[in-house]
Structure 1
Amino acid sequence: MPSASKIFSGYRALGYVSNDIPLVVRHHQREKENYVCTSVGKSFHTYNCSKLGIVSVSDIHPADITCLAADAKYVYSACGKTIQAFKKGRKAVYTYEGHKSDVHILLPFGEHLISVEEDSHVFVWDIESQEIYLEMNFYNHSFGVTAMLHPNTYLNKILVGSKQGIMQLWNIRVDRLIYSFTSWESPILVLEQAPAVDIVGCGLADGRIILHNLKLDETLMKFTQDWGPVTTISFRTDGHPVMATGSTAGHIALWDLEDRKLKSQMRDAHSSSVTGMRCLPSEPLMVTSSADNTLKVWIFDQPDGGGRLLRHREGHKAPPTRIRHYGRDGQNIISAGQDSLVLSFSTLHDKHNKSMGRASYNKKQSKKSGRRLDQHMMPPVTEFTAEQCRESDWDNMVACHRGERVVTTWSYQRSTMGKHKFENDRFHDNPVHRRTTAEAVEITPCGNFALIGYSSGHVDMYNLQSGIFRGTFGTPTAHSCSVRGIVVDGLNQLVVTAGADGQVNFWKFKTKVFLGSVKLKCSISRILLHRESAMLAVSLDDYSVVVVDIDTRREVRVFSGHSNIITDMTFSPDARWLVTSSMDSSVRVWDLPTGKMIDCFLVDSAVTSLSMSPTSDFLVTTHVDDLGIYLWSNMTLYTYVSLKPLPEHYEPQTMAVPSTSRRVTAVDVEDAEELEMYEKSDFKSPAQISDELVTLSLLPNSRWQNLLHLDVIKLRNKPKQPPKVPKAAPFFLPTVPGLQPKFVQLEADEGKTKKGSRILSGNLQPLSPLAQLLEDSRDTGNYSPVLDHLKELGPSAIDVEIRSLAPSGGGNVQVMAEFMKFINHSIKTNNNFEIVQAYLGLFLKLNADVIAETPELVEEAKSLVTSHRESWRTLEDLFTQSLCLVTYLRSATL
């Protein structure tokens, strides 16, 4: 099935950390590491607790995850009516189907898995066989199951809590109710095992926390938090008798169990309900998650026993409104959201993400009051621009806010708001400008000046280093209407401003002199300049895009096709493409040289902002009511794509947005057998790849690289004076040359004549070990002993062995022919490629004359030439293909 877009393919999503599904923590016994799993919709992420680095991303579920659970082997997830068990937090190995309604509780229980439907129907599954072991029927009107726990040391028993406030202890082996506890007249939301045996912590909807002894049916102590229902409970196990409870208000309370009182409070730990919380075993650490898209690790080192934020991962709490790439490597994306946060996301790894904080009128007061009670928070950022030049000297980012005329500065390197807030005095003195707002901002390529356009038509310039006002364009205003865009050319010589009345004005940067204007047919909504090509893209209110050459000040292209407001535009780095998005949920790619649309696709939710990477590898988009930042891979960098213009009445198709993990579809593998083989093992033995590639022997280069130059090496190493015979030489046994010295063995029955004896052939010299192995391989066709023997020899010994194959060295023509067959067989099998080539080169160097004079050897040489040519032709094609691909990628990324 063809893709909806021929240029872009969904890669992955950024900005997702957690949602309202509680986290689960696993301890890896072998690695001595704790891992936390958080749900992000249709998949879950696994982080290590030591650095909060993402370890793995699970496969995509068919729908959103409703609950998570984990044991020592697997991570279990429920998706609607289906349950899956994941190995290593990535790939599903078991699937459990049989529920009639959505699953909302999972509990691993030894070799079993317990699942609870929303109508309180309980299934007990055998994990390995995936069969139902037991079914238990509860009814919501009498006992609606809301929580479940396996108490420590209680064999085959589970504790079930209900929304009626009743707890029941069941034996799942015999399916029998053991005991029913007295109701607490409030729904039980949480059940948590305490470090002490028989003690269970119960969190109720009215804010009460009850520590109950199951064995004696006695309440040990009660606590009450004033922040509403108890959402989660956890106990410290590092020697401190402390219980932590979470609330819907985002606060965390720490209770001292010895003194039976509140020990400390962690106010505004999250800006939303604390859905997941777990104290790490035997460590003063606690990990929490929330629906505010954050994951935090706390360390208990405060004087009052409270927790301090140690490390965290966060994304936007509200949908992002504007994104732009930062830097020329395309690895960082700046995002501004409706939550007034400005974040930076890395396309390489989450550990490079950072937050530049939340926009505030007074940063000091905001820190004191906290984010939840912050009365100094500014409205969301609607437009921003950043310049990498001079980032280490002063603020290098400027942003305007919704409904505000105050423009703020930011520092990307210091990851914070800047010290300047730009606002002209004219807006304070004149009541006419009471509702004036900042609409557009721009930073010059040199990084020294910021230009601001207002709804009143003014265009002001400020110095970023000092914050001093440096003048205004126009007398008294640059436009008689709202300014919709400001851009500066790459040489700081020309300033272009666009007004809502369709007027594009050109100004001299230094003198602020008006140079001329271009009148467009309709009101302007936004503009975008590609500085290297001087192409200015202007989106109009009639849903068309006009491209203006700012050097000639003429309209050069007009693109029409959108049916709603154009939300954003971006150029490709080479200015050949213009990518536009609209509220009609379409993304269109326009080819500037031909003036035609070459690609178009639809998305489920309209794109609010997009940006093309400076290296052309990714297109980044944000969408309406979506927290994610989506990366689309540019397929033209990896494969051939036809950029033929689309027909005028082209019907675009809907394209699914990428997930946090790669989608595995039928396109990736042709059938299920290939997919199964791929999943089992990625390793291929030398025998498996012999048909495609060649394998090397992995021997040291000194064993074969100098075989053709042994005569030169021996001549160079020849001693200047002959060795002197010692006066009393010790007695020694004669040995044969080789890496492993061997004593010469005399044949016991030298007088006997064997089959094929050298005496009968008229040659009295004995055959060398190599020649004997070649004769043995003549009938069997197995040349492995020959190759193994040569591998054990050093360069000098190999030279002697190959010289001994010729008739002058004690061999014969038959042995030489057999050696050539051995080389031919080795080349065809593509194994031990480099040493076989070295042996062949030495053999030809020593015996070229004999081969040319013997017809039998000439025929073997012809066969050898054919095999050798085919082998090298295959390698040459692979080398050429790889070099072409590397050269293309290098030129495409420059």
Structure 2
Amino acid sequence: MSDSKGKGGHLDQYNIQSGRFIRTFTEEKEEKEVPSGKNGNKVMEMGTAHSEPISGLVFSGNCSSELISAGKDGVLRFWDIRTGKKKNQIKSKSSKQIEKAVACQANSLIAMACSEPGHNDSIVLIDCLTKRAVRVFNKIPSKKITALCFSSDGQWILTADNERFIRIFDISTSRMVDMILFSKPCIGMAFNPTGEFLATLHQDERAIFIWANKSQFATRISLRSYPYDFIRKWENLDEDLDIEVTRVVIDSDDDDDDIHDDVIFEGPSMDAAHLTYSGLPPSRWENLPEIGLIKERNKPIEPPRKTKQVPFFLAASATMTGFEFDAPKLENESEQRKRINAKRNLLELETNFTQKLKKAETKFEFLAVFDSIKAMSVSSIDYEIRSLPHSALPKFLQMLLEMLKERRDFDIVQSLMASAVKIHRSELWEEQDDEDSKALTRILEEIEIEQEKVWSPFENLLGQNATLIQWVKNALL
């Protein structure tokens, strides 16, 4: 418990369960004698933790036995919670005052909001292990910082000011990556432990506002760097944005009779051309992009060894007249047969699948070729993709494009696409002026547009369902 009244900053420790006083944290080690007010007797006065009121108390994120106190005197002190002794302290070089202090639970950083007369507030990050300042944000255009918060993973630091802004800074780069404007200043905020949601409190508001962290739900989030003095302008906000806010009333004074049971909530209707999966087990398509690595890993360490000596007996087979010995097979004949088969495989440059793929022109022909490769095993599919010549790659990608347009077998299409890009990446990256390369570039651009069109509605629906499931799991029912 800290005392911010009067001149000094007293810091006392109590037991929560019993309420018993344990100790007082003091900077001075010896006691002082001061005259009492009534009888003139001298009494012993204990020192204080700070010479000015205490503005923040936090525990170190990596050490629960270390208490950190921040005071208006611009001093940050580290205390041993078990003994009450001061371990270390950090003092600002100028006349700055520490207004707020928060600790990051993911690392050993502490953020302090410092104020100085005639200047805007600044943010200083202190490392509790080295007891040094590691980041200083002194160009923030905020006259007064009202709230501080770390993200759950310790990657961002959020600041709120009296000008109704929340600014988000990336700690590793010391750059501002986003900003939010509210109708009223934010006076408190915190992330949930897993980082999906941010809760904010605002001045003159008797409500808690919950905001979703889009980076936890969307797969493609591009952050850009902004200067500290950047002010985003929202023109025609009410006309351009169609934002729906869900308001939940807790412990309302209204009677339960106002609730109508005949109200039906209708959700968005699903499009007729919805996205479908193949229904095949994941073993049929999940390991296709990594099948080469799997084969390399499963390869025997040592080749099979030949027997040193031929057995003394010969194999015999029964006949009508008795038995006769089987003639042993010559090793040269088997080796010669292997060479002949290898030469035949080299002459067959195009497989049956490649020939059908080259002949396909219409949508139905491409779908038929896709059904044929869908029925193959994982090793056969990998062999067919590796056997594709450069002239057949546009046809192969055209087949995948037709499947995306049909909204069919989305999982297999993604697996085939990843495997083809990984195997033929050198051919895709080369810039050539032939017709096949131009057709390849055009089909890749069409696939990118079509995949964005197909996946975006499904991704939004998936994010909404994940949010709802997470809320149900965390709700106090």
TM-score when normalising by structure 2: 0.48
Higher relative helix content: 2
Q: Higher strand share goes to which structure?
A: 1
